[in-house]
Every structure is written in C-alpha cells, then in structure tokens.
Structure 1
C-alpha cells in the first residue's frame, strides 16, 4: 500500500472528493457508468498497488473519451499520479490543463475546489509559498459556495489543516496554528468514522505536538505525538516519520539520547521510502543534531551532508517549477498581438537593469573588499601585538560603559573577571546552548554578578558579548583554516554555536560589516593570488 503523504494534499482535494463530493455534484448528471467504474478503480485500487499500471490505464482512459468533463477528470487523475511519483512539474501541467476545462455547469462545481486545492498542495511542496497560498484561498472560497454536506465539511477541515502548516512553517505563529487545528479536529469528528479520518486526525495531533514542541511545552507535545501514533494503529503511513521524528526531537530536547536515537531509527525507513523531500530532510537534520550532541563528529558530518544534498535537490525542484511558471506566462504573452513590442520593451528594461545591477555589484564588491582588508588588518594586528584596535568589528572594550557604582569589591571583580577570561580561552561560547545561568554556574557565581562584570568590563549585554566572541572566533578560524571554507554556511553556523544559517549570517554581517560568504570568497581570492604569484614554490 502506498504510504499516505503528510505534505501532499492530493488525497485531500482528490480522493476524498471522489468519496464525498462526487455524490453531490457528479451524481446529478449521471456520468457514464463504465467510465466512472474504471476511473474509480484506477484512483483507489490500482494506484495503491501498481503506480505504473495506473499511469497506463489513465492514459488509455483519457484517449478513449471525447467528453470534456471526463477528460478533465482523467487529467486530474494523471496529475495526482505524477504528484505521488514525485514529478511535481508534470503534475502541475496536468492540473493546469484540467483547470482550463472548467465551466459554469453544475457538475463542475466541486472540481472548482479540487483543482486549486491540488495546485496549492503542489506549489507548497515546491516551496512556492505565495503561489500555494493564493490557490488555497481560491479553494476555500469555492468550497464555501457549495451546498453544505459531509464532503464540504471534511474539505474545509483539511483546508484548515493546510493553513496550520503555513502558520507553523512559514509564520511561526503557533497560537494561530493550534486554533486552526482545534477547529479542524472538530470538523473531522463530525464526519463518518472510517480509516481516512484516523489518518487526518493523526496528522492533526502530530501538528499539535509539533506546536507544543516549538513552544517548549514538552509534556503536552509528547501526549499529542503519542495520541497521533495511537490514532494510526496498524496503518502504514509516512506520517509515522513525522511522529517518530517529533518524539525523537522531543527526547533530544530533554537530553534522553538513547530514547531519541530509537525514535529516529523508527522514523528513518518511513521517510526514506516516501517521495517526500521534507520528510527526508527532517530525519537527516535530526540525526545530524543528535550525533553532534553526543560528540560523534564523523556521523554528524555524514548526516549533515545528506541533509545538504536533499536541500539542494529540493531547491532544484523549486527552480523547475518556477521555470514552468515562467513558461506559462511566456505562452500567454505569445497569444497576444502585442507580444513583439512587449518583449522588446522588456528586453530593453532588463538590459538596462542588468547594467545597473552590474554597476551596483561592482561598487558593492569594491566596498566589501575595503571592509575585508580592514578586517584582515585587524586580525593581523591583534595576532601580532595582542592589542585591540578600532575596526569595522565591535571588538570588546573593557573600559567602556563603566558603571558609576560598584556592586562588588575590587578583589571580587578581578577574581570573577579572571575566571571569565579563562573561560573565554576555552571557547565556551561555541556551545549552542550557552546561557547566562550556565556561565554563572561555571564561574561559581550568580547571574547578577556575571551580567554586571560583562557589562562593565566587556561593554555589552550577555547576548552581544557571546555573539561577538563567536564571530571573532569564526573570523580567525576561517582566515587560518582553508579547509573550513569548503563547508556550507549552515554547517559553519552550527560549528560556531548559532542556531540557524540566517542568524549566523545576520550577526556576522552586523559585526564584521560583510556577510560570511563575501568574507570567505575574498579569502579564497587571496589564496588564488598567492598561488599565481608563486606557482613553483612547492618545487623549490
């Protein structure tokens, strides 16, 4: 049996529609019974057991009918099959063709929900969020126009579930996501008690568990993950990858490493046996974090590389879908009588824009080079004299922001400051979970005194102090170690203690004045210049 896909809503706007909405819209016009029998068999029975055979039967069914409505249904069936096989670009092509056959006839009404619903799913799976949300709005609007029924209620519940995905993944609005999921659950429970409802509710509980994990309510998170697992019972679904991985992430947060590994190992086969990029990315990322936490650098790097490869493949898939959208726009433009004039105008604008961008890029490169050279000069100066200078980087100034009244005796301040400096020499700040309380504990002091010392002698609050130490370490590490420059920015972010690629890049730029990628590129450029100037140095 083909695993149920968590992130793909073809089953939502297509197979569920066969069961419920067809009774409302299609039954009224009594479609050809022989066609409908074959169609339903392909969609439910054959596609679950033999996807290749389902493709062949669908192609034959499409070729055998001249009825516009039946052709539209065949195109949607082919779109769904392609989506299940992982061919998102082809799936979108079939859905768009099907959408071009819609009319105001009553029998098309429910398909006005299914078509934008499937498009929303496909674009979201390709990370084209804005396009996906646009079609989800259309699907919801058309569903509300239909006569209320069991089918429309379930479809609305699934739309709310899809909205919760966006609230979690894109907006990080977990309160809104929990509200959407609560309403979705209520609607599902109103529907008939059948296996598909268990999967839909299981998805709901998994997402609720994820929300509570994000807000660090671990007790509720575990309860809902286990509820999701119980709801699936013996159903084999890739949803289990998300459930087990969520339980593993939860165990990792609670430092229960043995339990975490057990859950990740259960999640891995479900993720790897699916066509779901997100599931595979998720489990490899979790394994990388797990092995890093237990100190197995080799395994951590292995899974991080797998994670990076999958991210690149997903980016390529997004690019392909984007190119397809561009082609669709181009085709529509060619149908216009003014296409030539428009293309000329666009070309002129683009050329002018490109020239302008090249000018800006050249100017930006010069500015970045100047900033880079200042940073290198500072690093050299600090390494040579052990003294700090005024740079584009905010080097710690122990005499800045001295407080007018001391909280401690001079002896106590000196003793605590010396201990803090010794801790710095051990690079404590590279730990991702470092906090003011953990530092205070290591120094056998309290957070109030440690914060006071950092403010008085380091000239900044705790977070800025830690972040600048990390960036200064990163600058020296990248400068002195050419091998480190080969790694992706996401890996470097983790290496230097930052929680994400974006946070590392933002703090690096605000501290050093240029982005980490620009700094690394300039280091590589200097390496190339040296190798050109001394081509035979290794032979001397």
Structure 2
C-alpha cells in the first residue's frame, strides 16, 4: 500500500522510459492483466513510470480510481517535461472533483494547475489559479491534508519573493502538524504520512530562511529535516531526501562555502542518474556552475552550465535557473577565452529575457549587465577578426538594452510620482471630508463642489422631508451598514423611511452621484480607514479586502477603488508600506 502524499512538492517522481517490441508488449499486457487497479496504481507510484497508468487508463475505472489516475499521470508528465499534457489531466481532475463534490482532489488539481502555469511562465494565470484555490483550502476538514495544502498554497508567496510570509505561514503549519503528532492518534501509514509531511514543511522553512540569508536558522531546520528522514525513512530515495541535499547545497552556496556545496550537489547528480530525478539534477547543475565559477574552476563551470542548458527542465521557483545557466555559461566562456561561445550565450540570455512576461525578472538583466565588463570584452575580441560582427551585434544589443532600461526607469519614476500625487490628494480629501461631518468621498475625477452645493442651500429652503433624509444619510455614512453586501437602493430607502425615487433624487442632487457610486465611495473610504489603522490589513489579499468592504468580487472592488482614488488597490497598499503607515 503506497503512502498518502501531497500533490505538488512532497514527492515529485521521475519517469523511467520503457521500450519493448510489439510481441513483448503483448506479453507484458497479459502479465499486467492479473493485477488489480489498486496494484497497478501502486506499481506506477513505486516505479515512477507511466507504463502501468497507460495500461490502467484502458480499463473501466471507478470515479475514485479515475481521480488517482489523473493525479498520478499529471505528476509523472510534469517530471517528463510534458506540461501541456499534464495540464490536461489536472484540468480533468479539477472538473471531475467539482462534479463529485470532492474538495480534497479539487484543491490538489487547482494547486497543480497553478504550478504548471508558473512553470510555463504564465505568471498571471498562475496567480489567478492559486487565489481560486485558497477558499477551497479553507473549507477542507482539519487535518494533515489541509495543513499540507496550506503549505503548498504558501509556495506562491515564495514564488512572489515574499519570503517572510512564506516562513511565517509554514511555521504555523509546522505548529499544527506537531499538535497532531503529539496527540498520538495516528498509526501505520498515516503516521508515516505525517512524518514525511513534517519533513517537507521544515524544508520549506529552511528554504525561506536561506533566501533571506538567515543561514543559522536555515541550517538548524535542514538538520531537523535530516534527522526525521534518517530516523523514520533510513532507506528513502524519494524526492524528500534529494530535496534536502539540494537545499544544503544551496545553503552553502549562498554562504560562499563552496567546498561544502559541491559534494551535496554532486551527490544529487549521481542520484539523478540512478533514480531519474531530473528536476533536482537540473538545479544541482546550475548551482555547481555557479560554485565552480566562484572557485575559479571555469572549465567545470562551463561544463555544468552547458549540460544544464541542454537538459533544461521547466521549474517553479523564484530563482530563474534557465537564466542563471545562460549567465554562467557566458561568464565561464569569457573567463577561459572562448569568445564566440561567450557572445552566443550572451545573445541567448538577452533573447530569453526579452521573451519574459514577469517584470521582476529584469533584476537578473541588471545583474548580468554589471558582470559583462563590455570594454574588456571588446579588447579580448579585437584579435579575432572573424568575431567583429558578433562583437558589434553584442555591443549594440547591450546599448539598446541599457537605454531601454534607463528609459523604463524614468517612466517608472514619473509614473510613481503621479501615483503618489493622486494618493496624497485623495488622502487630503479624506481628511477634509472628516471635518465636513461625514460627507461621502467623491471620485477624484469629479469637481469638488458637492459639499459646496449642499452648503449653499440654506436649511430653511429645503423641505422638511429632504432635510430629515439628509440628516439620516449623514448618520448612515458614519455607520458601517453600507458594507452589507445586500445593500441596495430599496434597502436603504426602507431604512431611511422613504421611497427609492425620492432617495435617488436626493443622492443625485446633494451628493452629485448615482446610488452605486455613493455606496462604493463609502465602502472605499471604510476599507482605507481599516488599512491605515489596522496594519495587518496591508498583508491581506485584494479579494479579502473586497469581501470585507462589501463588494461581490475582486474586479468590481478594484474598478470602484480606482474610480474613487485614481489608483489601483495594489498601488495604494505599496504607497502605505513605503510611507510606513
């Protein structure tokens, strides 16, 4: 019986390619016919092969067996690099799980689809799917599966570079799983599942600390993970052990202790050859290229970088391994005087960067340009007459790229100034509205004469009914009733003791906006007050802020927020963080 396992990062299995003649295939099929569906699923799990699953897919399966088949095929296809095929199976799993109200497998599917989009560098799609998975995770029953699902969801924080949030969430996950462990209610494979899950959580925490360069904490947690594996799974050759070896190698690489780095990474490459751990092997080669370059072993660095380039695996990681492989192939080629290779790898680097969708990857470009030493490179190449055209091409590319980055920087500075100005104007407007006894915040695009109009009409010239409704509206604006998602014109009219026609006319006349803009303005002011006064709100997702303030969706909230303030919710939150609110 195989262990239960998390869907994405706990056990990532690789593919053993099986080839045979038609005759042998028939013989094997006859042999497989004696196995039950569950036995075939087990064999696929332990052999890391799609062979048994492809045979199993031809059988008539129960719904639960079909879900296991989709999950295992998706995982193995990822390890084989067939991301589009894996996406098809996880999409099928998502659809079937939703149809059968299987929340656990629906979470597995969505998290896997989110990871696949990230591997394909479809970053916005990845984020959208991860966010769609969150409310489903919250609905899961308490237990190990929910804890590990939250850990997998938190990986999006890591991918986004939010390492503090990544560590914080997984420390909470670790605390929850230790409570289950302390209860001593689990036995057998359930207990094995807990220990394996705990080991992976600790690896996650260590990885976050490594990225934050808190090496003492990272090493402490890695040793804890190692102790769990050695105690409970002494013969483990699955990805948890290999993951840990990569983590130790990365830790010592970041610490610049290269002699400690290399043995761990070389061990991963050896295991990859014997157990087909392609993804970890690829990471190890890129890290070895970096370590050897820093030690001055330029030929070995180039060898590892080129091997990584030719055996590229799509990775879901904050580090872009493809770009780093190209970067160190360039640097090591230049160091050993292989000028043509250096120019080729620099060209590939620039082309790859131009194809990227994610703006944060531009940081790697800046780092690369700083390492190019263009003037020295020009002198190196002058002696090689047949390389002049390559040199001109490279220098021109660098110049264009540099100018582009400078222009983009100027644009960003100007745009940031404009955003700050809009936010500061809106904040001043809010302060003024507080002193005007609760008048609603008006979108910045409107002229600021609503209150003047109201003030210019003497109280005695208003009829008694209008005056009374305006007074009640002021009281309503000071409450938080408007965050009720059921709020409507008829609801508010009933609450104020009037009819919808009269109320609509008063809001249009004295607030100079329609009912929807009026309510949305109150809601936006309300959520901004909470963000300013309750710091934890700065960390919440936009979808949660929308829900708290009474909006029915993320998109409606964002549209209303920009209409009221002139900026998006994300830009507003970034401003508050910079200002230290």
TM-score, normalised relative to structure 2: 0.47
CA distance in 1 between partners of 2:233 and 2:313 (Å): 32
Matched, 1:302 2:352: no
Aligned partner of 1:282 in structure 2 is 324
1:271–1:283 Cα contact (<8 Å) kept? no
How far the C-alpha of 1:117 sits from its partner, in A, is 0.5
| 228-237 vs 114-123, which moves further | 228-237
1:74-118 CA deviation, whole Å, 9 max, x = no partner? 233232233134242233133213124235xxxx42233022101
**Residues 300/278 of structure 1: CA separation in 2 closer, same or farther (3 Å cut):** closer
How far the C-alpha of 1:123 sits from its partner, in A, is 2.0
1:288–1:302 Cα contact (<8 Å) kept? no
Matched, 1:41 2:53: no
Out of 10, 13, 35, which is 1:12 matched to? 10
Aligned partner of 1:199 in structure 2 is 239
CA distance in 2 between partners of 1:165 and 1:289 (Å): 27
How far the C-alpha of 1:56 sits from its partner, in A, is 4.3
2:203–2:244 Cα contact (<8 Å) kept? yes
Matched, 1:121 2:119: no
Aligned partner of 1:210 in structure 2 is 250
1:198–1:231 Cα contact (<8 Å) kept? no
1:244–1:266 Cα contact (<8 Å) kept? yes
CA distance in 2 between partners of 1:135 and 1:346 (Å): 34
Superposition map of 1:171-186 within 5 A: 172-186=213-227
Matched, 1:78 2:110: yes
Superposition map of 1:348-387 within 5 A: none
**Residues 138/95 of structure 1: CA separation in 2 closer, same or farther (3 Å cut):** farther
CA distance in 2 between partners of 1:82 and 1:274 (Å): 13
How far the C-alpha of 1:326 sits from its partner, in A, is 2.3
CA distance in 2 between partners of 1:325 and 1:118 (Å): 17
**Residues 254/235 of structure 1: CA separation in 2 closer, same or farther (3 Å cut):** same
1:248–1:259 Cα contact (<8 Å) kept? yes
Aligned partner of 1:261 in structure 2 is 302
Matched, 1:227 2:262: no
How far the C-alpha of 1:200 sits from its partner, in A, is 1.9
2:301–2:328 Cα contact (<8 Å) kept? no
CA distance in 2 between partners of 1:247 and 1:207 (Å): 13
CA distance in 2 between partners of 1:306 and 1:288 (Å): 14
How far the C-alpha of 1:261 sits from its partner, in A, is 0.9
**Residues 102/235 of structure 1: CA separation in 2 closer, same or farther (3 Å cut):** same
2:286–2:321 Cα contact (<8 Å) kept? no
CA distance in 1 between partners of 2:71 and 2:158 (Å): 23
Out of 124, 140, 152, which is 2:174 matched to? 140
Q: Secondary structure at the match of 2:238?
A: helix
Matched, 1:92 2:133: no
How far the C-alpha of 1:193 sits from its partner, in A, is 6.0
Superposition map of 1:316-335 within 5 A: 325-335=541-551
Unaligned runs of 5+ in 2: 1-5, 14-40, 43-60, 78-84, 119-124, 185-190, 364-537, 576-581
1:170-198 CA deviation, whole Å, 9 max, x = no partner? 2x122332222121111122334676x43
Unaligned runs of 5+ in 1: 1-7, 20-32, 359-540
**Residues 139/34 of structure 1: CA separation in 2 closer, same or farther (3 Å cut):** farther
1:314-360 CA deviation, whole Å, 9 max, x = no partner? 63899xxx999324422442259xx99xx889956989xx99x99xx
CA distance in 1 between partners of 2:163 and 2:10 (Å): 18
Superposition map of 1:456-467 within 5 A: none
Q: Secondary structure at the match of 1:334?
A: coil
How far the C-alpha of 1:310 sits from its partner, in A, is 7.1
Q: Which segments of structure 1 move beyond 6 Å, counting only runs of 4 or more?
A: 343-346, 348-351
CA distance in 2 between partners of 1:259 and 1:62 (Å): 49
1:191-219 CA deviation, whole Å, 9 max, x = no partner? 34676x43222222222223333334333
**Residues 122/58 of structure 1: CA separation in 2 closer, same or farther (3 Å cut):** same
TM-score, normalised relative to structure 1: 0.50
Matched, 1:55 2:90: yes
2:326–2:348 Cα contact (<8 Å) kept? yes
**Residues 169/316 of structure 1: CA separation in 2 closer, same or farther (3 Å cut):** closer
1:257-276 CA deviation, whole Å, 9 max, x = no partner? 22211111111244454455
CA distance in 2 between partners of 1:310 and 1:181 (Å): 36
Aligned partner of 1:514 in structure 2 is none
Aligned partner of 1:237 in structure 2 is 278
1:123–1:132 Cα contact (<8 Å) kept? yes
1:181–1:208 Cα contact (<8 Å) kept? yes
CA distance in 2 between partners of 1:250 and 1:157 (Å): 27
CA distance in 2 between partners of 1:323 and 1:310 (Å): 31
